[in-house]
Structure 1
Amino acid sequence: MPPRKRKTAAAARAEAAAAEIEKTQAEEAPAPVDAATEPLDTKMDDDASQTQQAAAESSIPSEAGAASNSKPEPSAELEPTDTAAAATSSSSTTSSKPETTSKPTPTTSAADRMARFRALQARAKSSSDQNLAEATKETQRLASDPSALTALNRRRDIAAHKLLKADTEDAGGDFERKRAWDWTVEESERWDKRLKKKGARRDDNAFQDYRAESSKVYKRQVREMAAGSSENMARYEKDKMAAIEKAAASGGLDIVETDDGELIAVDKDGTFYSTADSTGFVENRPDRAAVDRLVADMKKAEEARLRKRRERMAQNGDDGDVTYINEKNKQFNQKLNRFYNKYTAEIRDSFERGTMI
């Protein structure tokens, strides 16, 4: 068994100092104050402090004499240590207090966040599916030919008409009578009038003379103008009102109201209404839409003229390249083609491709 160590005097003094410090801290620690009894305890403490102050004032001379005969206690030397320990304990209490009182709490639970996430996922998926379906429909619409769809619908209507007519005749009924039940008298008269005009135009399609041809062209242009007549008349009325207001503001035109309430424009100096010597029409500037419409009409007339020319040449056998300069040269070339075309076809094709140069 190893020898037991002896406790030195220094160790004994250190233990005594530590025990004294712990005892002092225990005595100086404040007791917990109840919120309900705080006013009563405060009043009692005030009374006790007044009593202690009176006793201390009466015992000052005796304590001064006793202090001169007694030795200083070591607790005075340990006062800085006690103050530091008290500051440390108070700071630790202060720092630990917010942690216990202001603990963060989540506003939403994990289940709620997961439900919101699932809802957002479902919404994104539905939006993606809808966009894909719309894109597919747009692709199919662009891939389909409108003219082919129109022809298909026309053939379907013709087939349905023939089937209905066959079923009605097999049943022993009058097809035209049954068909007329679906139309009013006004609609039937308009349809008959339209068919009559169409037949007349078909019979009058052949060329008679230049006067009749010009009349047909004029009527066709009038029909085309009637399609956009409402827009043209609205623009005309707007321009006319602007011109009248401008002339009235300048003093060259008076607006007079008759007895029945009709407004009449009176030209005082004869400058508003056009005459044979007027040149105000040269200042007119048509809008861009009217110019574009005129250009489209001219292109359409040129295409029709070229189409008619090709049809006439095809009827005469001249639908190929023009290789003649007059009628006699044309006949000579046709005679050569009849005898030598089968021998010169390869050479002419090579010249067109540029491989015989």
Structure 2
Amino acid sequence: MSPKDTTREDAAVAAADKEHTNRHSANALESAADGETAAETGENDAVASARQRLERFKALQARAKTAAERNLKETAAESQRLATDPSLMSSLSRKHAFASHNLLKADTEAAGEDFERKRAWDWTVEESEKWDRRMEKKQRHRDDVAFQDYTQDARKVYKRQMREIQPNLEAYEKDKMAAIEKAAANGDLEIVETNDGEMIAVDKSGTFYSTADTIGFTDNKPDRAAVDRLVADLRKAEEVRLKKRKDRRGEEDADVTYINEKNKQFNQKLARFYNKYTTEIRDSFERGTMI
């Protein structure tokens, strides 16, 4: 091989080595760029995840703060409600109204004016008549409290039960329409339209409307709620009867602290006013611990 050929071969090998080196460098640069891109992507994902967790944590903190404030307000309101006696508030309200009434009456009379006339200026005729009817009804009820006879007592019980009754008008209308449709289908009832356009039912056979001899009401089956109300009323009446019997028995078994009926009434009047002050003293006497 001539020296010229050797030189040419060495140049080719050097060129190949240089090309290989350049390709390796390019691959290394490309790998480094890919690594940097992946690192940046991972860093961005971590930052976004941390931001989401921080926002969620702040939302939970705000919710916990709101719940704590609401619980604190409800606790304060409950404590105030328990500390306030409703009967005491009602008593103070009545006393305030009574004192205001007396003060206005005294000022009006001192000025030489008619108090009832001046007070009537604040009310309309309808309100005044409504108030008079209410006072009259209240007076009748007050006079009707004491026992007079068993007929009067039965009337009071009946009126109380009528006030407490709760009719189901929807069920009544439904049963009424069902009865009318059934009677019309059987031919016992005829629906006639008047000249005014009003629909009326005509009883053709005379069996639709109830009479003294009608027993169709025996087929009625009350619902469970009505039966429960009846049972509750009977149970309440029985409890009242037993309580009255127990009270009478307690009076018979109690200590005799009177010499006649008038003295008994006087002792009962004293007990109403002073029992709340002398209960502890009497209990101490009974236990034998009174000094």
* TM bracket, shorter-chain basis: 0.5 to 0.7
Q: Which of 97, 100, 112 is the matching residue for 1:157?
A: 97
1:181 and 2:121 matched: yes
Superposed CA deviations along residues 128-180 of structure 1, whole A, max 9, x for unmatched, are 22332123213433565544443443333333333333443444443322222
* Letter aligned with residue 31 of structure 2: S
Q: Which of 221, 227, 232 is the matching residue for 1:285?
A: 221
Aligned partners of 2:18 and 2:182: how far apart in 1?
105
Structure with higher helix content? 2
Q: Give the TM-score normalised by the residue count of structure 2.
A: 0.62
1:262 and 2:198 matched: yes
Stretches of structure 2 that go unaligned for 5 or more consecutive residues are 256-285, 287-291
Partner of 2:77: 137
* Letter aligned with residue 296 of structure 1: A
Question: Cα gap change, 1:145/1:279 in structure 2, threshold over 3 Å: closer, same or farther?
Answer: farther
Superposed CA deviations along residues 30-50 of structure 1, whole A, max 9, x for unmatched, are xxxxxxxxxxxxxxxxxxxxx
SS of equivalent residue, structure 1 residue 222:
helix
Deviates more, 1:305-314 or 1:134-143: 305-314
Aligned partners of 1:143 and 1:242: how far apart in 2?
56
Stretches of structure 1 that go unaligned for 5 or more consecutive residues are 1-65, 322-348, 350-357
User: Map of 1:61-72 to 2, 5 A cutoff?
Assistant: 70-71=5-6
Aligned partners of 1:193 and 1:256: how far apart in 2?
44
- Larger Rg: 1 or 2? 1
Partner of 1:96: 32
Deviation of 1:92 (Å) = 1.8
Aligned partners of 1:313 and 1:94: how far apart in 2?
109
SS of equivalent residue, structure 2 residue 71:
helix
Aligned partners of 2:233 and 2:92: how far apart in 1?
30
Question: Cα gap change, 1:245/1:181 in structure 2, threshold over 3 Å: closer, same or farther?
Answer: same
User: Map of 1:71-82 to 2, 5 A cutoff?
Assistant: 71=6, 73-77=9-13, 81-82=17-18
User: Map of 1:1-357 to 2, 5 A cutoff?
Assistant: 70-71=5-6, 73-77=9-13, 81-82=17-18, 84-98=20-34, 103=40, 124-141=64-81, 144-225=84-165, 228=166, 232-248=168-184, 253-267=189-203, 272-275=208-211, 278-309=214-245, 317-318=251-252, 320=254
Deviation of 1:183 (Å) = 1.4
Question: Cα gap change, 1:212/1:122 in structure 2, threshold over 3 Å: closer, same or farther?
Answer: closer
Aligned partners of 2:225 and 2:106: how far apart in 1?
51
Partner of 1:21: none
Aligned partners of 2:171 and 2:94: how far apart in 1?
38
Aligned partners of 1:212 and 1:252: how far apart in 2?
43
Aligned partners of 1:142 and 1:282: how far apart in 2?
52
Question: Cα gap change, 1:207/1:137 in structure 2, threshold over 3 Å: closer, same or farther?
Answer: closer
Partner of 2:274: none
Question: Cα gap change, 1:120/1:233 in structure 2, threshold over 3 Å: closer, same or farther?
Answer: closer
Partner of 2:263: none
The 8 Å contact of residues 310 and 319 in structure 1, kept in 2 or not, is answered as: no
* % identity of equivalent residues: 56
SS of equivalent residue, structure 2 residue 252:
coil
Aligned partners of 1:319 and 1:188: how far apart in 2?
51
Partner of 2:272: none
Aligned partners of 1:87 and 1:158: how far apart in 2?
109
Partner of 1:54: none
Aligned partners of 1:309 and 1:239: how far apart in 2?
43
- Once superposed, what is the RMSD of the aligned Cα atoms? 4.4
Q: Report how many residues are paired.
A: 249
Question: Cα gap change, 1:269/1:189 in structure 2, threshold over 3 Å: closer, same or farther?
Answer: closer
